[in-house]
Amino acid sequence: MTRWIILLAVFCTTIHAQSCPTIVSRSQWGGRNPTCRSRLSTPVPNAIIHHTAGDFCNSQSTCSTQVRNIQNYHMNTQKWCDIGYNFLVGEDGRVYEGRGWTTTGAHARSYNNKSIGISFIGSFTNRAPNSAALNAARQLIACGVPRNFIRSNYVLKGHRNVNPTSCPGNSLYKVIQGWPHFKASLSSYNCISVYFFRPFSALSLYPGVMIRWLILLLVLWAAENALGCPSIVSRSQWAARRSSCTTKLSTPVPGVIIHHTAGAFCSNKNSCSTQMRNIQHFHMNTRKWCDIGYNFLIGEDGTVYEGRGWTTQGAHAKSYNQNIGICFMGTFTNRAPNSAALRAARSLINCGVARNYIRRDYRLRGHRNVNPTSCPGNSLYNVIRGWPQFKA
């Protein structure tokens, strides 16, 4: 009888072990040490699916690089104590350990202490992750249930179901709607309706309370816009030469045009500042322009570098210089910029809208959409085609 019990226990353990995907540990992908650790009360009732909205990856090497970049962005820019997700999934079919099974994440406001956050590495608005990634994510959830990290009656949600966001991208969201335990509680639009508009139906009877609500919303809106602006390295900080430009932009501008420098990459402030000086030198000495041509440039350190800025007309797109020109430093024909750079660019655009430098109904274009050029490179162009308000 004892031998039968032991055999049954081994058999059950084997089944559970087989259901678990390959998990690349923090030490294997080169993770930094966290600066804090809040314990999850397990088993959690929810699993929440995200996408990083950045670069794709399909090997352990490229995925490890992506995870390190995401961790650096979360810790250095967002000022979080660690990478935000509990786990990340690459299109190599591997799972990458983030905060893991027992540590509270920073991936979904109000749900961090009652969910496991699983993020697919890449932008999945226009296409779904490959089958290797999808299978790995489902295996991870199945692995968490028998190990008592996730409740057996858990609820599966997309990020958009709990916070007002487009995450995890339309294509991925359509896939997870067919997964077991999926339940859409709130869409991103319903979130806004529930938290902001629905109370007004009752408050409209009480003008004083209504005014206080409006003031609170304005404060929150201003705070959100302020927090949405990325770090910008000023001209003096990157040691720019003095500009002789005098033509001002008529703000808010009607559009944003994305470029790449088609030159060297940079991933820290020193190398990016050197790149800025080299580009400015070329534009002023060889092109005979009054300054560096772009309004802003972005490095793969996740930082924005001030070119001509918000109010001075650039020299980046013939006949379209009345728009803001944003240029990624590097050549992005065969690969896209990293997630830190892409997020900095989107944050910069949102910041410009909030501060009335860019119209709310702006049009986003690549350089190739307005001039005969291959700029901003095929890989970067494929990314921006999925961004809001893109129009070729």
CATH number of 232-384: 3.40.80.10
User: Does pLDDT of 247 surpass 70?
Assistant: yes
ω before 21 within 30° of 0 (cis)? no
User: How far apart are alpha carbons 274 and 248 in whole angstroms?
Assistant: 27
The amino acid present at 371, given as its one-letter code, is N
Q: Residues near 35 by Cβ (< 8 Å), separated by ≥ 6?
A: 75, 81, 82
Residue-wise pLDDT for 25-76, tens only, equals 999 999 999 988 899 999 999 999 999 998 999 999 999 999 999 999 999 9
Residue-wise pLDDT for 277-331, tens only, equals 999 999 999 999 999 999 999 999 999 999 999 999 999 999 999 999 999 999 9
User: Does pLDDT of 160 surpass 50?
Assistant: yes
Q: What is the mean pLDDT of residues 358-370?
A: 96
User: How far apart are alpha carbons 39 and 24 in whole angstroms?
Assistant: 21
- CATH homologous superfamily of 15-186 equals Peptidoglycan recognition protein-like (3.40.80.10)
User: How far apart are alpha carbons 75 and 305 in whole angstroms?
Assistant: 20
Q: Which residue has the higher pLDDT, 200 or 310?
A: 310
- Ramachandran quadrant class, 330 (left: phi over 0; alpha: psi -120 to 50; beta: rest): left
Please name which of 324, 343, 320, 335 lies closest in space to residue 377, comparing C-alpha atoms: 335
Q: Average per-residue pLDDT in the chain?
A: 87
pTM score of the predicted model:
0.48
